[in-house]
Amino acid sequence: MSDVLTSPVPVVTIQDIESAHERIASTVVRTPTITCPALSRLTGAEITLKLENLQAIGSFKERGAANKMALLTAQERARGVITVSAGNHAQGVARQASLLGIDATIVMPRFTPASKVAATQAWGANVVLAGDDFAQACVTAEELQKTEGRVLVHPFNDPAVIAGQGTAALELLQDAPQIDTVVVPVGGGGLIGGFATVMAALRPDVEVIGVQVEAYASLAAFPQEGGPTLGGSTIAEGIAVTTMGEHCLNAFRNRISRILVVNELQVESAITTLAEKAKQVCEGAGATGLAAVIANPELFKGRKVALPLSGGNINARILANTILRSLLRDGRILRLIFQIPDRPGMLADISARIGNYGGNIIEVSHHRLFASPSVQTAELVVMIEARDTEHAKQIETDLSRHYIVRRD
C-alpha cells in the first residue's frame, strides 16, 4: 500500500475526467446540487448535497460504468462484459450494457439485498449469486472471466471507472463553487479518487475528507499504512470493501486530508436525518458523509461542506426499520412496560393519561397469563409516539407517578 501512496505518477488526470464528462453526458443524469438549510442548522455547517441518489440506477456508480464501457472496442463489446458488485455498480453495468447492446454477466454476493438483485436483473443482465461477501464473489467473477473471455468492468480499480466517478465532482464545482470542504464515502476508493483528482486540479483550496464505516475501515490509520478490517454485516454495504484498489489509492494519494470512521448507529441516524430533514432517501453508504459531519461537529462548524449522496438504493423494509430504530434511540418513540392490577379500567386510565400529554399510542400488548409476576397483575406493553425527547420524558414521568413502569 505504501508504494502506491507514494507513487509520483497520476493514474487519472483532470483531462481524463473532463473527457469522460463529455463522453457519458447522454447516458447518465446530471444530478441536482442543492443546499439544505435544515441540515445546516443541525450541524452548524453550510451543507450542500450532490444528489447522486437520483441517477437512473439510484447511484453514482453508473458514471464509472458508462465511461469504461463507452471506451470498449467493437471486438471487446462482442465478447461481453463481466463485473462483481454488491448492487450499485452491478446496476450501472447492466443498464449501460442494455443501452449499448452488450451481453453482461454480474456476480453478486449471495446476501446482496433482494431489491438490488431484482433491479440488476430488470436491466437484462445475467446475475450469478456467489460467495458470502465481495471478496468471495470476486473469485467467482475471475473464474468466469477466464472461462468465457469477457471484459472485466471493475467496480473501482480501473482508471476509466475512476475518471467516470470524478465527473460528479466537476458538476458539483460548477453548481456550488462556494464549497470549501467535501466529505466522500470510501469503499474501493473510486469515488474519492475522482473527487480528489478534480479538487487538486481545479480547487486545491477545497479540503477532501474520506469516511469509512467501522467494520470496513481499511484506512483508519491514514496517512499511515492501514490494517485488516473487521468485516461482517453493515448497513453501508455499498462501501463494504476489505481491500482498496491500488489505482484508486494512487488517484487520491496526498490529495486528501484525513479519513473519518463512523459506526453503524451513526449511519442509521444519518439515514433517518436525511429522510426527515432533507427529504432524501439515501442508502447507508451514501449517508456516511452526513454521519461523519454530525459525529465531528468541531471539524465542520462554520464550513461550507458538500456531501455526495452516493446512492439511494435501500430496501424499503430496512429503511422503515432504520427509521423506527432511530426514533426509539432518540426517545421519540417510547416502548413502556407496565405492571398493573388486573382489573377493569386500567387500560382506559393509562390511555387517557397518555392522550392528555399529547402522546400518540401506536401499539398496545396486554399479557395476563405468563408475563406478569402475579396472577393478580397484568403486564401491559405500550408503544407511544412523542414530539421530541423532552416530550417523551414528560409522558414517562407522569405515568411513573401512578404505575410501575419501565422503558424497554
At 182-232, the pLDDT tens digits run 999 999 999 999 999 999 999 999 999 999 999 999 999 888 866 667 888
d(CA 28, CA 206): 26
Residues comprising the chain, all counted: 408
pLDDT tens digit sequence for 325-384: 999 888 889 999 998 887 888 889 999 999 998 999 998 887 655 555 555 678 889 999
3-class SS of residue 223: coil
First to last CA, the chain: 47
Distance CA 116, CA 92 (A): 11
| Residue 50 annotated to the active site | no
What pLDDT does residue 9 have? 53
Is 310 one of the annotated active-site residues of the chain? yes
Taking alpha carbons only, the member of 382, 210, 383 closest to residue 296 is 210
Query: Facing residues of 260 across strands?
Result: 211
Spatial separation of the C-alpha atoms in residues 383 and 392, rounded to whole Å: 11
Q: Which of 80, 55, 79, 64 is nearest to 21 (CA)?
A: 64
CA distance linking residue 149 with residue 259, whole number of Å: 38
Q: Per the omega criterion (within 30 degrees of 0), is the bond before 228 cis? A: no
User: All domains of the chain, ordered by start, with CATH?
Assistant: 2-59+158-325 (3.40.50.1100), 61-152 (3.40.50.1100), 331-407 (3.30.70.260)
Which one from 85, 218, 269, 310 is the annotated catalytic residue? 310
Q: Which of 61, 68, 116, 304 is catalytic?
A: 61
| pTM of the predicted protein model | 0.89
* 8 confidence band (pLDDT: 50, 70, 90): very low
Per-residue model confidence as pLDDT tens digits over 261-277: 999 999 999 999 999 99
Q: How far apart are CA 78 and CA 206, in angstroms?
A: 42
